[in-house]
Structure 1
Amino acid sequence: MAGKIIFITGASSGMGYAATKLFALRDWQVYAGARRTEKIPTGANIHPLHLDVTDKASRNDFATQALDDAGGVDVLINNAGYGEFGPLEEVSEENARKQLETNLLGASELTKLVLPTMRFQRSGRIINISSIGGEMYSPLGGWYYVTKHALNVWSDTLDTEVRQFGIRSIIVEPGGTASSWTEIAMANAEKNLKPNSPYLKLTNGTKALLKRMGSQSSATSEDLAEVFYRAATDAKPKYRYYHALGDNFIGHLARVHQHLFKHVMAFAVDRLTK
C-alpha cells in the first residue's frame, strides 16, 4: 500500500476530522476511528472504522482490521476525548470514570495494541492529544484536567520505555480552539449540577468567560491538524507541541510559577462568583 499509515481516533469531529482530511490529502493512508462512522470525512486514502475507545471489543476490532488491511502502522494519534466539566463535589463517580476511560485509559489500551507491530518494525510514533489543561487547572474542569495531567505523565513514561525500539511517544497541547468542545464541556457542567447547587453562580460565570475566550480564539481545528502533522513528521520530534506561543507560556506559568498561578485562579474565581 502506497504512502505512510496513520491511525486517528476521534475522527468524526473537530481536530480529528481536520487531521484525517489533512493526512489523506498528503497521501497518507488514514484509518479513521469514531463511534459515528457516518461523520468521518470521506475521500481517497481514508478508511473509516467504528471505534469506541472505552470498549475493549471495539478497540480490538479497530486495531485488528486496520493492521490487517494496512500491514503496519507508522503513527497512532490518540485524539478521542471530551470534557466532563462540573463541580468536583457534584460530578458523579460514573461520570468521573467515563472521563478517565475515554481520555486516558482508551489511549493507553489502544496504544498497547499497536506497540508490538511498531516494535517489530523498529519504528513508530504515538501522538497523544492532551491540552494546556495538562499543565494548569481552572474551576469546574477537575476531572478533565486530571486526565490530561495523567496523559502527559503516561506519555512521557512510555517514551522512556519505547525509545529503545525506535518509537517515540509525544504530546500535543492545544489551547483555545474554535470548535464545539467548550459548548459540550459546559453543557456537561450544567447537567452535573445538582438542584439548588451552590455552584450555580460559578458555573454561569465560567460559561460566560469561556464563551468570550472562545470568540477570541484564532486557532481552528485545521490549525491544530497542521501541528499534528509536524508532530508526526519532524525528523527529531519534540516532547511537546503547541499551536501558539501563548499556549506554551500559560503552561510554563502553571508549571514553574505555581504560587503565582494559584493567585491568578483565586482572583478569577472571585470575579466569577460576584
Structure 2
Amino acid sequence: MSDKVAVVTGASSGIGEATARKLRAMGYHVYAVARRLDRITPLADVGIRPVRADITDDAALVDLVKQVLAESGRVDVLVNNAGYGSFGAVEDVPLDEARRQFDVNVFGLARLTQLVLPQMRRQGSGRIVNISSIGGKIHEPLGGWYHATKFAVEGLSDSMRMELAPLGIDVVVIQPGAIATEWPAIAGQHLLATSGRGPYADQAALGAAILAVEDGPASPPSVVADAVARAVRARRPRTRYPVGRAARVILAARRILPDRVFDRFVRTMLRTLARVVARRDTGQGRLIGNRA
C-alpha cells in the first residue's frame, strides 16, 4: 500500500480528519485538504501532508492536484468530504447563500473530481468516495437548500458511477446519519440567523435546539472513516454505505412510506428529539415542548 495516494477534503476536523487518519493508518500517502492550514498542520505528526485549499477556489484546486501528482505521481482515492449545512426556510435564505451552498457541497466536489480523473484514467484505476448524507434521500423542514445539494450529490454520483466503471474507476457514496461533529451546532446557528425571527421562528427554535445537542443520539466520526476504509478495501465496493445511528432505519422508512406519511414520520421524530433535549436542559426543554 506504500505507493497508494489518497486526497481527503474537509480534513480539519470531524469526518474528514478521522478519514485522513484512518487512510494513513492503512498505509496510504494522504493529502489532507482544508481552508485553515492551522487546523490540519497537526496531522503532519502522523505522516499526513496538510494542504491549504478552498474547495470553491478553482486555481487552488488546480494547484492541489498539480502538487499531488508532482510529489506522488498518482491519485488512487479521492474522498470528497468538504461541505456545510445552510439551514433556514427557503423563503428566508438569500439566493447568494443558496448558491454558496451549491458551490461548496456540489460544484467544489465536482471540480476536484474532474481534476483527478485524467490521472485515474491513465492509471486505469481509482476510487471516488463522495460523503453525502441520509439527507440526500430524505427531507426535513427548513433544510431545503442543504437537502437539494445532497440530492444533487447522489444523482451526480450515480451518473459518474456508470460512466466511469468501464474505465476502472469506482464511485461510492457514504450516507452518514447523525454524527457527533461541529457540523450540527454550526448548522443550528445558520438556522437561527436565517429564520430565527418571523413566521418560521418556532420551527427554527425547535430545529436549532435539536441540532445543538452535543451529546445527543449521534455516532462518532470514526464510523464514517471505517465505512470509507471498507469502500476503498473492497474489490467490488457497494454503491452506498449508510452509517451512523438510525441511518438505515430512516432510509428504509423513506423507501417504504408514501410522501405525506413520511412527512408525519419526520415530524414525530423531531418531537421525539425535542423530548431528548428537554431531559437535558429543563428550561430549554419547556420552551421546545410548548413550541413542538
TM-score by length of 2: 0.87
Task: Structure 2 unaligned segments of length 5 or more: list them.
Answer: 275-287
Partner of 2:263: 262
**Does residue 86 of the first structure (1) align with residue 75 of the second (2)?**
no
1:199 CA drift (Å): 1.0
Q: Number of matched residues?
A: 272
Greater Cα offset, 229-238 or 239-248: 239-248
Q: Secondary structure at the match of 2:243?
A: coil
Structure with more relative contact order (C-alpha pairs < 8 Å, separation 6 or more): 1
CA distance in 2, matches of 1:158, 1:239: 11
1:132 CA drift (Å): 0.5
Q: Is contact 1:37–1:48 with CA below 8 Å preserved after alignment?
A: yes
Partner of 1:232: 232
**Does residue 138 of the first structure (1) align with residue 140 of the second (2)?**
yes
Distance 1:266 1:179, change over 3 A: closer
Alignment identity in percent? 36
CA distance in 1, matches of 2:46, 2:264: 51
Q: For 2:98, give the aligned amino acid.
A: A
Q: Is contact 1:15–1:222 with CA below 8 Å preserved after alignment?
A: yes
Partner of 1:199: 200
Partner of 2:22: 22
CA distance in 2, matches of 1:188, 1:16: 21
1:47 CA drift (Å): 0.9
Q: Is contact 2:136–2:154 with CA below 8 Å preserved after alignment?
A: yes
1:45 CA drift (Å): 3.1
Give deviations 1:5-52, integer Å, cap 9, x for gaps: 100000111110111112112221001111112211222431111111
1:217 CA drift (Å): 2.5
Partner of 1:247: 247
CA distance in 1, matches of 2:54, 2:210: 32
**Does residue 186 of the first structure (1) align with residue 188 of the second (2)?**
yes
Partner of 2:283: none
Q: Secondary structure at the match of 1:172?
A: strand
Q: For 1:107, give the aligned amino acid.
A: L
CA distance in 2, matches of 1:4, 1:106: 23
CA distance in 1, matches of 2:2, 2:269: 52
Query: 4+ residue runs of structure 1 moved beyond 3 angstroms?
Result: 265-274
Q: Is contact 1:136–1:255 with CA below 8 Å preserved after alignment?
A: no
Partner of 2:282: none
TM-score by length of 1: 0.93
1:218 CA drift (Å): 4.4
Q: Is contact 2:192–2:208 with CA below 8 Å preserved after alignment?
A: no
CA distance in 2, matches of 1:127, 1:205: 33
Partner of 2:162: 160
Q: Is contact 2:177–2:245 with CA below 8 Å preserved after alignment?
A: no
The 5 A counterparts of 1:26-175 are 26-40=26-40, 41-175=43-177
Q: Is contact 2:178–2:245 with CA below 8 Å preserved after alignment?
A: no
**Does residue 3 of the first structure (1) align with residue 3 of the second (2)?**
yes
Give deviations 1:244-272, integer Å, cap 9, x for gaps: 47312211222332332122235567997
CA distance in 2, matches of 1:166, 1:28: 19
